[in-house]
Amino acid sequence: MQKLLDVFGEDLGIGYDIGCQFASTLRNSPLGELAEALNTEMMVGEFHGHAHNRLCQLSRLGLYQAGRGLEPLEFCETFFSKSNRLAGTTRYATAFHRHQAITEYFRHTDTMETYANLSHLLCSHYRRAMVFIDGKDVVLQTLRNLEIADGQPEEWLDEERRWLESRQHEPAQETLAMEYVLALKAYNKAS
């Protein structure tokens, strides 16, 4: 984290499977003040984020973070998942040959695939952005037809976040009602 903060500086957004938990770890670490001063934001990737609770999604999914773009934040997952193909060929190899195969795999990937993949990534992101830009007028017209004001969706997300935060504990009346129903069931069963 120290290296990331030093190299990238302000307004760094980091996607991590457990970004919500790591944010707490970072905040309580010796780097906490620096990360806060640099406005560092921990997020969860699109794939893993949907397994988190809704409050975490509202706070940590890049989808809901202004200015964070459309990146799913799962590049490392994809990259290392692809390298899992080495397992079959290195499982019974000696340590030397295992290291050699892994080194050659990443060297090949770096020299032969990285630039092609980067070009593909940039082109596909550009095309995706153009689709959004082309559809912007339709979206704006739909928002006007539905009488949704600019900034209102962000307000809805804030409202949902506040509501979820207020529901950290069951309301006393609901808990009492449930206990009453359970007591009635127990009474009827005993009778």
3-state SS, residue 51 = coil
Distance CA 77, CA 64 (A): 21
Helical spans, DSSP H, in 84-171: 87-90, 95-108, 114-145, 152-166
109-148: pLDDT as tens digits: 888 888 888 888 889 889 988 998 888 888 888 888 998 8
Q: Where are the domains of the chain?
A: 1-73
Residues forming a β-bridge with 42: 14
Q: How far is CA 178 from CA 120, 185, 191, in A?
A: 56, 11, 20
64-75: pLDDT as tens digits: 887 776 778 887
Token digits of residue 44: 């969860």
The rounded average pLDDT for each run of 10 residues, N- to C-terminus, in the chain (191 residues) is 95 89 95 96 85 86 78 81 89 94 92 86 88 87 88 87 85 88 93 82
- Please give the pLDDT value at position 15: 87
Burial class (CB in 10 A: 0-12, 13-18, 19+), 109: middle
Query: Please, are residues 26 and 32 in contact by the beta-carbon 8 Å criterion?
Result: yes
